[in-house]
Structure 1
Amino acid sequence: MMPGMGLTAIGVTGVTISYAGIAHTFVDGMHALTGLTMFIGLIFLSAGILDGGVSTSNRAKATTLVILSIGLSFGTFALTMNSSNYTITLAGLLMAVAFPSIIISYLAMKMPQYAKPVGAIVALASATGIIMWFAFGFVSPDTYMINEPVVEEVKEEMISTAPVFTISILKDSAIQGNPDYEPDVAHVPKGDVIEWINEDTVPHTVTSSVDFGDTFNSNMMNAGEKYTLDTSKLASGEYEYMCMVHPWMVATLIIEEPKGEVKVMIPQGSGTQKEGQLYYDPTTITVPVGTPVVWDNVDNVVHTVTSGKDATPDGTFDSGLIDAGKTFKFTFSSPGKVDYFCMVHPWMVGSVEVE
């Protein structure tokens, strides 16, 4: 009986913690493990009562008092402060198991002649309930007994045109001490979309640290998978995030208020290489971190704005072909100097110094 009561208490506490929203790490596993522990405890408890009756020793009374205190404390919290929709269902299931068990145990100890018939009645009632539950899953009642379903209007999904900021989960980042997220500190203007790409060969997560994923959480990202986050829903400020599978992988996301755009002109005639011609105007600019830069093609031919030197792209950004009269915008979220050129006219070069 004693081990049964202990295991039951542990199981009840674990299930309550999980469903109360306190535990976020591997929560499904906690549900399964604590539920299993609780029901094993109930089996031990029932076996102890049926074998030796209910103990009336001081030790048993003290244990019972402790278990009731723990169960009532966590039960009160679960019913009043949790965000789960299943707490009442769980409590109902527990009572459906506990009350018949208590009654049968009492009868087995005090009035054994009634234990078998009452047990048979409970078993038949349980079997009937289970059969009816599954039966209604296959054969529904007439529609007049059911409210008409509310048909929600399907809205077309809007394609985001916000700038995309890419963060890489680096190869071999699962090994403690290796570089993990790149960049490790990301300055992103509010309203941009962040895209994490898992370049490693093992699963990772992108999970806000302070609240264990309440602010944002990618769940498991397998190799090659992506996770996107719309920063327009986040308040400006600093967010630390981590990988729940490898908790030593930690990085920082800084959401900043959008800064004013800086414009660079691609002037007329820049497609022709000649002395005195401005190709990007101004050729060199200095901007704070988080500043969007807009290149405006006022020439009459196509151009590109491609990061790199000596006509070799480095992959930081690439506008593709910018038609005459069109623009390209890129937000610089990391400090440093960035050189760029035109893929069509490689003599056209410029640079951005990010502070």
Structure 2
Amino acid sequence: MTNKSSLPIFTVGFGIMTSMVLISSLSLLYGTESWGNDVYVFATSQQQQQQEKNIIEIAAGGGNYSAPYTMFIPEKVEVNVGQTVNWYNPTDVGEPHTVTFVMDNSTMAGVVSPLAVSNVTTFAALPPNSNNEPIIIPGQNGTNTVIAVNARTFNPVAIDSSGNVEFMNPNANYTMDGTEKYVNSGWFLPKGMEQQFPGAGNTFTVTFEKPGTYNYLCILHPWMTGSITVR
């Protein structure tokens, strides 16, 4: 006669063995930590590769067409001097973001660039001495196209302690020495969607060389804020 009470035990035992095989497989792929009888998978292979390179990854935004969200994940990060942080945009929709460090409040920049034209070749920022600069695209026969989007918001740029402005290429890799007044990533979108805003990138990378706390925001979504604490 079959002992029916043993069947559930076999089923449970098989389930436990299956789970152990699955966890063991994950351990080989990702790496694990264990506390007592619990096993936790702590990294994907991509994250593990980035950790080995000493790079911290931060997502700027996320979600999809029906439910995009505007926040940095994680919002607060601690790193060591000389460590690198990389921001990327994982959103499924072409929603641009920026990573903007404003160390001098007078360098806060807007999205648009108000300007005044004194003659056919000269443009002046409004208000005077503000952190604004229109995008000027040279054309044929001396004709320029002026786009009233702030170039110091749209493009990667750094302003040093003396007020010197340095523009960088999209997907810039910048070394922060802690004396800057303003550092901006430029607009960056999910990979493959950059063509929606020609000249935009999809990542921004900063290596921090001086201890301190560096607060930043997305100029396009000012409620998106984050901080990097450098030890």
Common fold by TM > 0.5: no
TM-score range, shorter chain: 0.3 to 0.5
The structure with the greater share of residues assigned to helix is 1
Larger Rg over CA atoms: 1
Greater relative contact order, per chain length (Cα 8 Å cut-off, separation 6+) = 2
Greater share of residues in strand: 2
